[in-house]
Amino acid sequence: MEANPDKGPADLPACALEYIDRVVRAIRWRKRVRAEVHEELTAHFEDDLRDCGDAGQREARARELIEQFGDAKLLAALCRRAKKRCRPLWQKALLRTTQSLGLFVLYLVICSLPLYFGEAMVRVNYVEWLNDRWRPAQAEVENAKRYYDEAARLYVAPPDVLQKKRSNRADAAGGWFPDHNDAEMGLLARWLADNESAFERLRQGAKTLHYWPKYEIEQADLGDPNFLTEAMAELAGYRKVVQALRENVAYQASRGDLDKALDDCLAAWAFGRHMQGKGLLNEQLVGIAIEAVGCHSVPVILHRCEVPPTMLERIHKRLRVLVDPCRPAVHLDGEKVFWRDRIQRTFTDDGQGGGHALPKGMPYAAGTWLDNLLGVLVFDYPDRRDAEAMVEQYFEQMEGTLSRTPYGDGSPGDPEMPSLRAAPNALLALVEPAHQRVGQLVWRMKTDELATLTIVAVLRYAAELSDYPETLDKLVQAGYLDSVPDDPFGAGPLSYRRTDEGFLLYSWGQNLTDDGGVQGLGQDGTPRLWADNGDWVFWPVSRDDK
């Protein structure tokens, strides 16, 4: 510090410096605040001591000031309080918000502590439950699954050139290999011959009366990713064999071997039927896809080939056994036990059916996440009984939804399936759209079944009576159908009328509106059987149907 040439040296006396240091140390706060107080006190002493002529006067005046300031600790407390009151408003708001948030988090931690007390008790092995659920009571009954597993193991992948051709063709059974040259047809014949043993196993399985899923894995936790990976691994093999069988159907039909081609269609149909209504939902959906291969290939062959009346009669009789519009194509027990297994692994068990959620059980608790959070804040924890009741109620409602036709109450123009009630928790809300989609697929499959049976009945009627029936009622009167087939997507039966070329058979389709038999178009502008717009025309068959 520079000296004042007129008023004497500007250095503060030692007593003043010592006093200032004691005040600053007593503040015990932020370094920046201590520096500000040090600067302000130093400036105050300097200003007051400038008029003192010599060191003695400066020393005496400094002591007077120290006496006026009083106790250093008291002055430090006053300075600290003053600094706090001088904070900007935004700093005060931020501080109060942070403090409140911290208190809330602390309270939440305290409220959450009971969630960590107790442990889950696994009382039921649901993998064993699934294995026993659909097993017939007779121990000696043969399971068709072993034939399907053997078929998947015996499957031979196609050569690369054929694989590319398959990916470029929309419908092998309908296309009759238009883009294959002679060399590629030779490759196709050899590849199909290599898979004949796989096809034979599949045919044996289709002829077997009983089928039930088996999960031969050690993992007992249905929620473990390894369980689904192992359980679903065989499904890819099933689909590959059926896709190859579809190629075989087309190859046989192109060579005029219609008897074998139609038999293989019905084998794929029976294979898919075996997998429906049993096991996990993914397996049942694969069964629906497999049945679709056989179901839709039958009209394609009938449309492209001259089928003898005796063959029509044989196929018609077999289809009347296969097609049952009242059967439940999807069973949700496999889905329901997944939730039961998660609940038993994420809730405590008091031995009386009750218990509270553990931290991992919160997503499976009944109610919304907000309701459950508010419950935790008042020490009201999610209850196991409520969670199990929620699952039962949801799947009971879902079963009811699947049993209703898409047309529902007969409101035309409404493209939506009958809707489920709002799902009672976040996870069920996520799977609800997928479950509604399952309902659409089930009714689409049943519509395809009824249409295929009706097509065969009409063609047999025409072959035996030399004319197409005027209405579907004529088929019932003549004994070709047990009843007029209802259109699940329409207000009455499947739409039928005679035409100059033969007949027209269609469903109102996804838009639930009668468009007069105008087939819907896909995104590429070509006719598409399952388009969201227009009608679903089953006969005549379009080359681009799929």
The span from the CA of 186 to the CA of 184, in Å, is 5
Which DSSP string do the residues of 374-393 spell out, in sequence order?
HHHHTT-PPBHHHHHHHHHH
Q: How far is the CA of 351 from the CAs of 120, 136, 366, 391, 407, in angstroms?
A: 11, 32, 20, 20, 46
Domain final position from 285, 307, 329: 307
Residues 76 and 193 in one domain: no
The reported pLDDT for the residue numbered 423 is: 53
The reported pLDDT for the residue numbered 461 is: 94
Lowest mean pLDDT among 51-65, 107-121, 268-282, 326-340: 107-121
Instruction: Give the number of domains in the chain.
Output: 2
Lowest mean pLDDT among 159-163, 271-275, 351-355, 416-420: 416-420
Taking residue 42's Cβ as centre, other Cβ atoms within 10 Å add up to 16
- Report if residue 325 sits inside a domain: no
Residues 250 and 144 in one domain: yes
The reported pLDDT for the residue numbered 310 is: 93
The radius of gyration of the chain's CA atoms, rounded to the nearest angstrom, is 40
- Report if residue 70 sits inside a domain: yes
Residues 133 and 277 in one domain: yes
Report residue 87's pLDDT band, with 50, 70 and 90 as the boundaries: low
Report residue 318's pLDDT band, with 50, 70 and 90 as the boundaries: very high
- Report if residue 333 sits inside a domain: no
- Mean pLDDT across 263-292: 92
Q: How many angstroms separate the first and last alpha carbons of the chain?
A: 94
- Report if residue 206 sits inside a domain: yes
Residues 245 and 294 in one domain: yes
With H, G, I as helix, E, B as strand and everything else as coil, classify residue 527: strand
Residues 159 and 300 in one domain: yes
- Report if residue 432 sits inside a domain: no
The reported pLDDT for the residue numbered 314 is: 93
Q: How far is the CA of 350 from the CAs of 118, 375, 385, 394, in angstroms?
A: 10, 20, 11, 24
Domain final position from 307, 326, 349: 307
Q: Is the pLDDT of residue 420 over 60?
A: no
Residues 139 and 71 in one domain: no
What residue numbers bound the domain in which 11 lies?
A: 1-86
Residues 288 and 151 in one domain: yes
Residues 141 and 53 in one domain: no
Q: Write the DSSP symbol of residue 535.
A: B
Q: Write the DSSP symbol of residue 74.
A: H
With H, G, I as helix, E, B as strand and everything else as coil, classify residue 118: coil
- Report if residue 355 sits inside a domain: no
- Report if residue 352 sits inside a domain: no
Q: Is the pLDDT of residue 491 over 60?
A: yes
Report residue 273's pLDDT band, with 50, 70 and 90 as the boundaries: very high
- Maximal CA-CA distance, the chain: 139
Q: Which H or E element spans position 452?
A: helix 426-465
Residues 172 and 73 in one domain: no
The reported pLDDT for the residue numbered 112 is: 67
Among 412, 401, 375, 425, which residue's Cα sits nearest to residue 490?
412
The span from the CA of 354 to the CA of 5, in Å, is 91
With H, G, I as helix, E, B as strand and everything else as coil, classify residue 506: strand
Residues 133 and 208 in one domain: yes
- Tell me the two tokens of residue 351: 């031995």
Share of the chain above pLDDT 70, in %: 84
Among 427, 446, 530, which residue's Cα sits nearest to residue 488?
446
Lowest mean pLDDT among 4-8, 89-93, 275-279, 368-372: 4-8
- Report if residue 215 sits inside a domain: yes
- Mean pLDDT across 395-423: 63
